[in-house]
Structure 1
Amino acid sequence: MTTIISVINQKGGVGKTTTVINLAASLSIMGQSNLVIDLDPQGNATTGFGKNNNNEDNNVYNLLIKKINLKESIQKTNIKNLDIIGSHVNLSGLEVETASDAKRAFVLKEILSAEKHNTLQKYDNIFIDCPPSLSLLTIMSLVASDEILVPLQTEFFALEGITQLVKTIDRIKENLNPALTIRGILLTMFDKRNKLSTEVDQEARNYFKEKVYQTVIQRNVRLSEAPSYGMPCVVYDKNCVGSKSYFKLAEEFSKKSNIESAA
């Protein structure tokens, strides 16, 4: 069964897109089938897979305004088992363009639900890369999703920001998507030499308990370099610290899925 996962944090620079790219790629390398939807107007997930975020035809904006259908919007990446629906800068104007549409928050959900047993049936996971804000696009993603994955930077004020996010998630559950659940909290940019990283790690685990993944993503220059070459770090340098962290996360992610499916 296909699981739709929003990867979300309203704060930028926390490793959100890096997580989408490398977790999806790791799972695909392990044999699972994955689709990435780049819902961020910046299009970093799109370029991170070597795709053009100025593609005027096959993009998520045209899908949302129903200029093209879902099948037409999907592009293959250079990684087996991994496809993408790319972003476009026009996404930044969608909120204004759809202001008069009372049901605009449900557009993505309706598109995906209609194809869940057809075009989307082959995918184990659909990862949606959300913008770093609590905008219409983020709400669209949360309404369409089964689960949420939250990358949390192990730095000062990180937990304060996530409190606001949890409140938003609760409102979405109450009014728009009652079945939405937090799949996991992923600690990113961890620096074992930094006492603050360890303190945030402990605080997050005390607050979110088992929701926090055991795997932490350590700071690693290769994770920053890889997107400029249009490929995930797990392909660019599979033996670096960052790649090993994401392969470990993929194993933990899959194991958790199997446990929940058996429950």
Structure 2
Amino acid sequence: MAKILTVTNQKGGVGKTTTCVNLAASLAATKKRVMLIDLDPQGNATMGSGVDKHSLERSSYELLTGQATAAESRLTETPAGYHLIGANGDLTAAEVELLSLSRREFRLKMALEEVADEYDFILLDNPPSLNLLTVNALASSSGVIIPMQCEYYALEGISALVGTINKINQRLNPELQIEGILRTMFDPRMSLTRDVSSHLVEYFGDKVYRTVIPRNVRLAEAPSHGLPALLYDKSSRGALAYLALAGELIRKSADAGKHPADENSAHTGDADDDVAQGPEAVAGDSNEASKKSADVDADAEVVKEVN
């Protein structure tokens, strides 16, 4: 049975779609069976996966409104090797149409039941707002990954999001919990970044991923080429950080007894020890970054699969 994870934050510009695309690519590189579902009408996760959103024959719109099944809606060939149910502007009409449908909060959950056994992970990308699309995602998921920048207003935003997650847990999905909080666009040179990071760890403890995602030019450039960073520049610090996150997610799932990691993915789990153990991992010089890149290349199969 797939582990279904919602990647969301009600605040825009925090690296939500970047996280969804790059985590999907990194998990797929470890031989995990992965599907990404784009639930944002902007279709950025679709385009970032190398798929033209304007050419979709079926999308998450048809899936949610019952016009197509998950098996009919998915694309099984993407550059990074994960399956994709894309989105485009058609999805803007879905929320209005869903209002008249029975069990409208559970349309996605019901649609995924037929394919859940085919995957190890299903990742859900959401619009930066709490609407019926996001509610469907949360009602379908066992966990929520919250990407956030370490800035002052982010703390207020995450408090509101945690409140929303608790309400969904109480009313719609008792299995829902915070899977992890991911610090993105991390710059340890800024004192505010360090302070907010410390507050997060103090309050949320081990819910905060050890992996941090640095500000990285190659990571920012990759979507314009329709590629995850792992395919655009596998030695970039952004690509390595998401490989580390994939390893941490797999290990955490195995430790919790929810989703045992197999031997093929064990070497990826070690990546987060080498790549991102907190602010120090991001602050290293270019020589250290090159060494880490070489280590991951030498470690082999994770990166080899995307060559």
* TM superposition score category, shorter chain reference: over 0.9
Q: Which has the higher contact order (CA 8 A, sep 6+)?
A: 1
CA contact under 8 A between 2:219 and 2:238: conserved in structure 1?
yes
Partner of 2:202: 206
Partner secondary structure for residue 13 of structure 1: coil
Counterpart pick for 2:239 among 236, 243, 246: 243
Partner of 2:27: 27
CA contact under 8 A between 1:55 and 1:88: conserved in structure 2?
no
Query: Whose Rg is larger?
Result: 2
| Residue 143 (str. 1) matches residue 139 (str. 2) | yes
TM-superposed deviation, 1:72 = 1.0
TM-superposed deviation, 1:102 = 4.9
TM-superposed deviation, 1:56 = 4.6
TM-superposed deviation, 1:27 = 1.0
| Greater helix content | 2
Q: How does 1:186-205 map to 2 (within 5 A)?
A: 186-205=182-201
Partner secondary structure for residue 31 of structure 1: coil
Partner of 2:224: 228
Q: How does 1:83-94 map to 2 (within 5 A)?
A: 83-94=83-94
CA contact under 8 A between 1:51 and 1:230: conserved in structure 2?
yes
Partner of 2:95: 95
Share of identical aligned residues, percent? 47
Q: How does 1:63-212 map to 2 (within 5 A)?
A: 63-75=63-75, 76-80=77-81, 82-113=82-113, 115=114, 119-212=115-208
- Residue 103 of structure 2 aligns with an amino acid whose one-letter code is K
In 2, the alpha carbon distance for the partners of 1:172 and 1:120 equals: 21
- Structure 1 runs of 4+ off > 4 angstroms? none
Specify every segment of 5 or more residues in structure 2 that has no aligned partner in the other structure, as ranges. Answer: 261-307
Partner secondary structure for residue 226 of structure 1: helix
Post-superposition CA distance 1:156-187 (Å, at most 9, x none): 21110010001111110111001111111101
TM-superposed deviation, 1:99 = 2.4
In 1, the alpha carbon distance for the partners of 2:21 and 2:58 equals: 19
Deviates more, 1:49-58 or 1:154-163: 49-58
In 2, the alpha carbon distance for the partners of 1:8 and 1:248 equals: 20
In 2, the alpha carbon distance for the partners of 1:2 and 1:97 equals: 28
CA contact under 8 A between 1:189 and 1:217: conserved in structure 2?
yes
Q: TM-score, normalised by structure 1?
A: 0.95
Question: In the superposition, relative to structure 1, how do residues 215 and 56 fare at CA in structure 2: closer, same or farther (>3 Å)?
Answer: closer
CA contact under 8 A between 2:56 and 2:86: conserved in structure 1?
no
Partner of 1:8: 8
In 1, the alpha carbon distance for the partners of 2:194 and 2:3 equals: 32
Partner of 1:258: 254
TM-superposed deviation, 1:28 = 0.7
- Residue 223 of structure 2 aligns with an amino acid whose one-letter code is P
Post-superposition CA distance 1:129-157 (Å, at most 9, x none): 01100111000100011111110111221
Partner secondary structure for residue 121 of structure 1: helix
